Amino acid sequence: MAETLLSTPRQDGFRMPGEFEPHQGTWMLWPVRTDTWRLGAKPAQDAFVAVALAISEFEPVTIGVSAIQYEHVRSVFPSRVRIVEMSSNDAWMRDIGPTFVKNDEGEVRGVDWGFNAWGGLNGGLYFPWDQDLLVKQKVLDMESKSRYDCQSFILEGGAILVDGEGTLITTEQCLLNENRNPGMRRAEVEERLHEYLNVEKIIWLQQGLMYDETDGHVDEVAAFIRPGVVAMSWTDDPESPQYERLNAAYEVLSGTTDARGRQLEVHKIHIPDPMKISDEEARLIDRARRSYNRATGTQFAASYVNFYICNGGVVMPSFGDRHDAAAYEQLCGLFPERKVVQVNTREIALGGGNIHCITQQQPK
């Protein structure tokens, strides 16, 4: 069993590496929930397969799957993709997987945060989340990595971005939300982030994207390309409900220095046109009283910065939107040393997230 540590990564000289640093591999989960995913989750499963196969061209991929789907999923993937039996309530490995930290000697450990399905009984997305809560420990056990217990603090991986050099970006809308760590003040939240991720400077954006069901995860708004360089969601349309909040985020990011004192270089990537759940899509989603309402016409967040950086590659969303090609060209320019692969992820966006949200990197 992975050892549980009562110290903190900062005390032990561990830090969360940037996503662009070398990976041991990528963790994902298999989607099956019929109140998140339409048509028995089959179209979403196809999209998850496309994402996993794209990543597996660059680095090892492990997919956690329920016992009942194990045989099927094993048959879907080539042997280079590892399939392990692992229960979960849904398939958002970014948010329910461990946050890996690393020291200068190359030892890797994991942080086990608390999780309440994006808000618990106060606006959370489903109930229960008991199996999600065990995923971090299971992954760390499987990998024989020591575990920092920080379950007293609710944090989703999609709510933070780090540059691996002491800088973290997050949103007030999510991290200071009463439905995450009620009663905890900004200074206390910052203290946890300092201790468990070993960061020096926290950059607070006010809000995430409108229609993001997670209460404003920062991974729909921005992404570190490398230390000192950030890509962010953008719209030129003053009528867009995203316009003001993205302008405000731009002001903060472009006017801020990072932990090393660098002025951030910020690249704007235009978001797709507004997206809504169609009547046909909504009719094929099961209803559940405690779950997020995915009715006809519900708008959902979509952005190109919810991409995933892997060894030598970047896997990014497309939506069949007029902005797909420009976003691809921009990312190719921002990552000249990596191959950029685009996967149509509308089916994943319908469930409330995208490629970054369904993946979790384990550093080398």
Q: Which residues are catalytic?
A: 357
Choices 87-95, 144-152, 244-252, 259-267; region in contact with ligand KQY by CB under 6 A: 87-95
**Torsion over CA: 76, 357, 149, 23 (sign):** positive
β-strands 308-310, 313-318 pairing: antiparallel
Say which residue the tokens 């997305």 belong to: 125
Q: Does 311 bind ligand KQY (CB under 6 A)?
A: no
Q: By rule CB under 6 A, what string of x and - marks binding of each residue 118-137 to ligand KQY? A: -------x------------
Find all residues with CB under 8 Å of 340, minimum gap 6, and list them.
313, 314, 316, 328, 331, 332
Q: CB of residue 105 vs ligand KQY: minimum separation in angstroms?
A: 30
Question: Which two tokens mark 307?
Answer: 């991409």
Q: By CB under 6 A, is residue 95 in contact with ligand KQY? A: yes
Question: Near ligand KQY by CB under 6 A, which window of 193-201, 213-221, 280-288, 314-322?
Answer: 213-221
CB of residue 150 vs ligand KQY: minimum separation in angstroms?
18
Choose, by CB under 6 A, the member of 214, 242, 311, 362 that binds ligand KQY: 214
Q: Which residue number has the CB closest to ligand KQY? A: 158
Residue range at the interface with ligand KQY (CB under 6 A); choices 191-199, 255-263, 314-322, 348-356: 348-356
Residues 6+ apart with CB under 8 A from 232: 221, 222, 223, 246, 249, 250, 253, 266, 267, 268, 269, 305
Instruction: Look up residue 267 and give its amino acid.
Output: H
Question: If phi over 0 gives left and psi between -120 and 50 gives alpha, with beta otherwise, what is residue 135?
Answer: alpha
CB nearer to ligand KQY: give 213 or 258: 213
Q: Contact with ligand KQY (CB under 6 A): which of 19, 116, 357, 361?
A: 357
Cα separation, 159 vs 26, in Å, equals 19
Residue 55 Cβ, how far from ligand KQY at the closest point, in Å?
Answer: 16
- What distances in angstroms separate CA 357 from CA 72, 329, 354, one per listed residue? 23, 22, 5
Closer residue to ligand KQY, CB minimum distance, 59 or 219: 219
Binding residues for ligand KQY, per CB under 6 A? Answer: 36, 92, 94-95, 125, 158, 213-214, 217, 219-220, 351-353, 357
